[in-house]
A and B are shown apart, each in its own frame.
Chain A
Amino acid sequence: MSPLSALIRRDIRIALRVGGGALIGVLFFLTVVVLMPFAVGPDLALLSRLGPAILWLGALLASLLTLDRLFMADHEDGSLDLITMSRTPLELACAAKALAHWLAAGLPLIVATPVLGLLLNLDMVATGAVTLTLLAGTPALTFTGMIGAALAVTLHRGGLLMAVLVLPLSIPVLIFGVAASQAAISGPLSFGAPFSILCALSLVSLVIGPFAAAASLRHGLD
């Protein structure tokens, strides 16, 4: 078994067991969506219009919530030092960790989306559009968020700071995610244009995220 696949399997296993708490993200997602009808009122027509935005915001906040575990737990028990010193390039290790995090924390959010869409009175097309945009967009959230997580772990007390640093970077993902879902539901514009920008954002973050995270880990941990 190669070191990278071992790392991915280890991270997923930790995340799914008690203490890792990747599924807490889904619970948080559910809570955010349930809070919305209390805030805007139980008007089903209004909720179905706001639905894509609510689901995107919930997924964004839920993935932010789980991100600080990405490096923090490994830093506390010392395994991050081992990963840094191993012969596997740190960039690849960061990418593997982010992939594992997305599989364990991001994918459950996408699976939960159709169920939560029912609560918000979304029809089939809208649910499909939101799920598809989340599938394309959440990797960007994870891989840009990883930069913030790496910065936060080198600062020791970065929890709240991480949110401040990461959220501006995730605004473009949010814009195009919601724009694509709205376009699929009602919009005069086509679904393809914002959706391909969303895919491009994900691909760019796949490249930039591991390098930036590895750089900040390497400079911060000495």
Chain B
Amino acid sequence: MSLIDLANPTRFLALSARVLPWLAAATIILLTIGLYQSVTAPDDYQQGATVKIMFIHVPNAWLSMFVWGVMSIASLGTLVWRHPLADVAAKAAAPIGAAFTFLALLTGSLWGRPMWGTYWEWDARLTSVLILFLMYLGLMALWRAVDDPSRAARAAAVLTLVGAINLPIIKFSVDWWNTLHQPASVMRMGGSTLDKAFLIPLLVMAVAFTLLFVTLHIAAMRNEILRRRVRSLQMMQASQKAA
């Protein structure tokens, strides 16, 4: 079992059909646990109950960058190894990533209102995530601008790799620019500054959201493969009619 075995779309469809129910079940279980823990987590001494937005906001923000990372690896797969499923993976991931990014911006703005007194602030972290959102939308527009999927795939792969420069900018924006957004507290040198009561639900939610992404991504990849099959069948039918 290796990546090369998955290169055959039929084998991918068969394998993913078996894996998908288990993934979906694991996602639901973990999300339930995570949401329960989030709701029962103690209030913060400063932020009160609004701290619970964190359990939704942080996983979304983490996924918004993780999905672009997945797309960058898939783009390498398209350009370097010419893996036949790489562009399917990249295309299927873009709308999901855009949705996570949008939710991260939305929950962040809802959290910002009671904490900072403003829905939106032109701070480095917020602005760079907004740019990420714009790039997701541009990438989706690029996918739709070309009829031939393999041609669109290579153009999109170049843009994805160029856009990956934004990821370290987002990650380190809170350290480079001293602005409103709080500095990194979960993943940092010298361990997390978060209390265990918050850290454990947060990590459960992060894993649950990642599983959610994997489930949605595989389902979207299956749809994309089937969509391409329908397309090629229609084209075969059209050419037979013409002949």
Contacts and interface: CB of A to CB of B under 8 A. Distances in A.
Contact count band on A? 20 to 34
Contact count band on B? 20 to 34
B154 interface: yes
Contacts of A212: 158, 161-162
A121 interface: no
B154 A220 contact: yes
B135 A168 contact: yes
B70 interface: no
A140 to B, nearest CB: 12
Contacts, number: 60
Contacts of B3: none
Contacts of B141: 161, 164-165
Nearest to B131: A168
Contacts of B169: 172
Contacts of B146: 155
Interface of A is mostly: helix
A58 to B, nearest CB: 21
B149 interface: no
A151 B79 contact: no
A219 B79 contact: yes
B197 interface: no
Given A172-B169, A208-B162, A216-B155, 13 more contacts: A144-B162, A151-B142, A151-B159, A154-B151, A155-B142, A155-B145, A157-B145, A161-B145, A165-B142, A215-B79, A219-B158, A220-B154, A220-B155
Interface of B: 79, 127, 131, 134-135, 137-138, 141-142, 145-146, 151, 154-155, 157-159, 161-163, 165, 169
